[in-house]
Structure 1
Amino acid sequence: TIVGDVSMTIKYLNGKRIGTIEEWFIAQLRPGDVFWFAGRSLELVRIKDMTVQVKRSNKKTGKIPSWLGGRMPLSSQLSSSLRFKMAQLSRRDLTDVELQKLQPLIELQGRRSHVPGEGEFLIEYFRSREGYHLVFYPYEGRFVHEGMGALIAYRISRLQPISFSIAMNDYGFELLSDSEIPIEEALEKELFSVENLSLDIQASINAAEMARRRFRDIASIAGLIFRGYPGKQKKDRHLQSSSQLFFEVFNDYEPNNLLLLQAFDEVMSFQLEEARLRAALKRIQGQRIVLSRPERATPFAFPIIVDRLRERMSSEKLEDRIRKMKLQLIRD
């Protein structure tokens, strides 16, 4: 049995259709969470079958969806090689042609903020007209940064009520808030601790809903649900309804069911990459934390911010906005 990713339809409560979005992103959200889609700030109301019901929100911060199909995550080996190259840049070891091309950019990064060495972990904290930016650079790949960003945001939110917009790429992730972020206090509270990691991950991301969606594929492969005859496939919403019934029965009356446990294990192992996340946190704990406070966005932060801006709509074109940011970046 071959299973594939499913798209879900986003609709307002009055039934007006907005568009479609990949299921993996929606499965992370809880009712009340805000995300950006088609230039609109939307609040999740409920998920019904394969329909996402939303309403407009006035919040300027929210999660940013992206198409997963075109974003291959970095492997652990490639991530390690990338960190090695960054250490070379910090030592000004420009033996590779690629590193020589990056020299002007690295010099600008060094003047504005800091170029992390092999035993250092860089965090940048600065303010702009959008709010307060907190940028981390683990160089662990997009999937790990997705889980780590949600985890760090959750742990900071336990110190004070605060909401974040999270953006990430393969090199790092950004937490954006409209209020000051207590990063010094968070670092003192063992922000990167692996203690209670699984519980914190499940609290920061809607793991139960992710497992429910994952269970549909497991139930299909196991033969619990019938996908239909060739040429007469059942609709995804019917499959979801059938598998959801099995999931709820197992969850309520047979919590040790192997298929149910497999759904949660696959969410933690494949979707959130818990093993790599745990290893990354342990590595960061052994490094020297460098908290830099640049006056504005740095060359390292630039691509992460642009990635977030792609999902936002304003009266300015994205190209014009990026051009202004580039001018601000190179201005001394």
Structure 2
Amino acid sequence: EYFISKLKKGERFILAGRILEVAMVKEMTVFVRNSSGKAITPSWLGGRLPLSSNLSHFLRKKLAAAASAPSSEKELHFLAPLIKKQAELSAVPSEAEFLVEHIKTREGHHLFFYPLEGRLIHEVMAALVAYRISKLYPISFSMAMNDYGFELYSDKQIQLSQMQLEQVLSRSNLMEDVISSINSAEMASRKFRDIAVISGLVVQNYPGTQQNNKSLQASSGIIFRVLMEHDPTNLLLKQAFTEVFNQQLEEHRLINAFERINQSKIRYTFVEEYTPLSFPIKVDSLRQSLSSEALIERIQRMEKTNAQKKKRRK
């Protein structure tokens, strides 16, 4: 439903190896016809489900192993040219290393971090790292992330030494800085909506009518603010914040990720062009920006700029 809702009549997509063209959408049914030519690959919100900690661990392990020796696994064999390119331009981190890339482009300065912990954890980590850097000196960041890493972009020069980078990635005062870097009260307020319904503080269904989410949020939001001001130790408030830290922020996993980073050697590299690891994150940030250009045109322009840089260096 999420994917189809973005398609217009006449647009083509791939399904089960066949290229189909949208004829019409009626209620919950999509009518299509066979077609040919270029088509888009279906994607939906399930593609952004979080990586498990075990899967993240094996991803790091396989990536490090592929860099040290040729792999017999067909997937890693297929990725060998990209891994080789990554090693040439920057580095492929071992299991005992954590890679950070600093890339300067026409647009500005980019920091790429590769925890390989999944998108949800990276959203929190990006906000936290940006907050800690901004405490060192005034600077604003734009953020992008995928399942493998995250980007901090600024049009100002990012002045960050190896020692400062290690401080920014420190485990100390972790949750205090997380709370400062995100709007935890707003997140808890939205969690409190469900808690208020379950506990009976707000009524979802009246005789002959049902409140929508907007009305529920307004009603529960008023109760949340009153409790925050007059009864901050209320058990329902504590439950809301507990659910935010355990479910949305994944506090335990976030702590484990920073402990692993602190035990690793941080490789801080300065690169002159996008690497195979950083490029997908940059493309993800392009998807989120408004432009009249097609995504493929913007990617081709980036590739052309990289090619011109190589010619100038030669």
- Once residues 158 and 324 of structure 1 are traced to their aligned partners in structure 2, the CA distance between those partners, rounded to angstroms, is 35
Which range moves more in the overlay, 181-190 or 253-262?
181-190
Amino acid at match of 1:300: L
Superposed, 1:270-309 pairs within 5 Å as: 270-309=247-286
Indicate conservation of the 8 Å contact 2:109/2:153, yes or no. yes
Say whether 1:145 aligns with 2:149. Answer: no
Q: Which residue of 2 aligns with 1:100?
A: 77
Percentage of matched positions with identical amino acids: 51
Q: Which amino acid aligns with 2:242?
A: D
Normalized against structure 1, the TM-score is what? 0.76
Structure ranking higher in helix proportion: 2
Q: Give the number of the structure with larger relative contact order, counting CA–CA contacts within 8 Å between residues 6 or more apart.
A: 1
Residue aligning to 1:28? none
Distance 1:93 1:258 in 2: 56
d(CA) in 1 for partners of 2:147, 2:141: 20
Contact 1:299 1:329 in 2 (8 A): no
Q: What residue in structure 1 maps to residue 131 of structure 2?
A: 154
Secondary structure at the counterpart of residue 102 of structure 1: helix
Distance between the aligned counterparts of 1:222 and 1:155, measured in 2?
Answer: 38
Change (3 A) 1:305 1:147: same
| C-alpha distance 136-329 of structure 1, shift in aligned 2 (>3 A) | same
What is the alpha-carbon distance in structure 2 between the residues aligned to residue 258 and residue 203 of structure 1? Answer: 22
Which residue does the alignment assign to 2:60?
83
Residues 170-249 of structure 1 aligned to structure 2 (within 5 Å): 170-184=147-161, 187=164, 190-229=167-206, 232-249=209-226
Match of 1:135 among 112, 126, 147: 112
Partner residue in 2 for 1:321 = 298
1:115 & 1:138 partners in 2: Cα distance? Answer: 13
Query: Rg bigger for which structure?
Result: 2
| Structure 1 residues 249-283: Cα deviation after superposition (integer angstroms, max 9, x where no partner) | 21112111111011111111111112111110110
TM superposition shift of 1:93 = 3.9
Matches within 5 A, 1:49-60: none
Is this contact kept in 1: 2:115–2:148, CA < 8 A? yes
In the alignment, the residues of structure 2 paired with residue 87 and residue 235 of structure 1 have an alpha-carbon distance, to the nearest angstrom, of 50
8 Å Cα contact 1:156-1:182 kept in structure 2: no
Shift in alpha-carbon separation, 1:327–1:96, aligned structure 2, 3 A: farther
Per the alignment, in what secondary structure is the counterpart of residue 252 of structure 2?
helix
**Is this contact kept in 2: 1:74–1:170, CA < 8 A?**
yes
Residues 1-56 of structure 1: CA deviation (Å, up to 9, x unaligned): xxxxxxxxxxxxxxxxxxxxxxxxxxxxxxxxxxxxxxxxxxxxxxxxxxxxxxxx
- Quote the Cα distance in structure 2 between the aligned partners of 1:92 and 1:254: 60
Report the CA distance shift for 1:109/1:149 in structure 2 as closer, same or farther (over 3 A): same
Which of 127, 139, 145 aligns to 1:168? It is: 145
Q: Is the 8 A contact 2:100 2:113 kept in 1?
A: yes
Conserved? CA contact 2:171–2:262, under 8 Å: no
- 1:279 alignment partner AA: N
Label 1:221 to 1:329 Cα distance change in 2 as closer, same or farther (>3 A): farther
Question: 1:265-306: per-residue Cα shift (whole Å, max 9, x none)?
Answer: 111111111211111011001111111111111111010000
Once the two structures are TM-superposed, the CA of residue 328 in structure 1 deviates from its matched residue by 5.3
CA 1:231–1:73 in structure 2 vs 1: closer, same or farther (change >3 Å)?
A: farther
Tell me, what secondary structure is at the counterpart of 1:166?
strand
Matched residue, 1:58: none
Secondary structure of the corresponding residue to residue 139 of structure 1 = coil
Maintained 8 Å contact 1:130/1:178? yes
272, 281, 287: which one aligns with 1:310 = 287
CA distance in 1, matches of 2:224, 2:45: 25
SS of match in other structure, 2:94: coil
Amino acid at match of 1:146: E
Q: Give, in whole Å, the separation in 2 of the partners of 1:186 and 1:220.
A: 49
Cα-Cα RMSD: 1.9
